[in-house]
Amino acid sequence: MGVHYDHKNRRAFETEIRRNPETGTLERIITREIPYLGEPPFAQPPKERGTTLTREQADRLRQGLQAFMLHSDDSPLDATTRAQLARYVAWRQKNGGNL
Q: What is the pLDDT of residues 23-51, one digit of tens each?
A: 999 998 889 988 877 665 566 666 777 76
Task: Tell me the per-residue pLDDT of 70-99, one tens digit each, with 9 for 90 and over.
Answer: 888 877 888 898 899 889 888 888 887 654
> Alpha helix (H) ranges present in the chain?
55-71, 79-94
CA angle (3, 6, 34) in 5-degree steps: 50
Q: Is the pLDDT of residue 10 over 90?
A: no
Instruction: Give the whole-angstrom CA distance, residue 83 versus residue 24.
Output: 60
Q: What pTM, to 2 d.p., does this model score?
A: 0.41
